[in-house]
Amino acid sequence: MKSELGKHAGLDDLKANYGHKLDKLWRAIKESHPGDGLDRFDRLIAELDRFETVRYPNDYMKHGAAFSIDWSPLTLTSEQQEPSLPRYALRIADIDALVARLFQVCQMNPKYFWGGVGAATREAIEFQNNEVSNWL
């Protein structure tokens, strides 16, 4: 998203105006690409934005949290997690779909971003990724 916004703003402007504020970045991207079907990712962006708090672990180190990373949609039941814990969940397939759509909408070449990755990174990117066909 910053690469796209950087087409019209300097790096200092990006840092000052957006920093790590995913919600602000997302609003700016959607404003610059209205009608491109990005609304369907609003919930995912909101969930990803919650991970900002993970960078500062004081609360969850003190009180706990439930983390999950899945490649396909999976809902944890109350038997699998403590109901009072904050829940952080990543759905990799959803993130792959978002990244693929951003490459299309922003008219960016995924090979530029992924072309020089090593074998282990390539394997991780390809793992259960339905969107990867033109990335590498």
Residue 76 pLDDT grade (very low, low, confident, very high; cuts 50, 70, 90): very low
Which contiguous run of DSSP H or E holds residue 67? strand 66-70
Is residue 88 classed as helix, strand or coil in its secondary structure? Answer: strand
Say what the pLDDT of residue 77 is: 45
pLDDT above 50 for 4? yes
Query: Is the four-CA dihedral 73, 79, 82, 83 of positive or negative sign?
Result: positive
Q: Specify the pTM.
A: 0.81
Residues 14 and 89: their CA atoms lie apart, in Å, by 27
Number of domains in the chain: 1
The CA-atom distances, in angstroms, between 31 and each of 85, 104, 106 are: 35, 16, 12
* pLDDT, position 85: 80
pLDDT for 20-67, tens place per residue? 889 999 999 999 999 999 999 999 998 888 887 777 777 778 888 888
Helices (H), 37-91: 42-50, 58-63
Write out the two tokens for 104: 């299309």
Instruction: Give the pair of three-digit tokens for residue 105.
Output: 């909408």
Q: How far apart are CA 105 and CA 31, in angstroms?
A: 12
User: Domain span at residue 111?
Assistant: 2-134
Query: What pLDDT, on the 0 to 100 scale, is given for residue 79?
Result: 46
Alpha carbon 60 to its chain's center: 21
Model confidence pLDDT, tens digit, residues 97-133: 999 999 999 999 988 888 788 999 989 888 888 888 8
Using the 8-state DSSP alphabet, how is residue 25 labeled? H
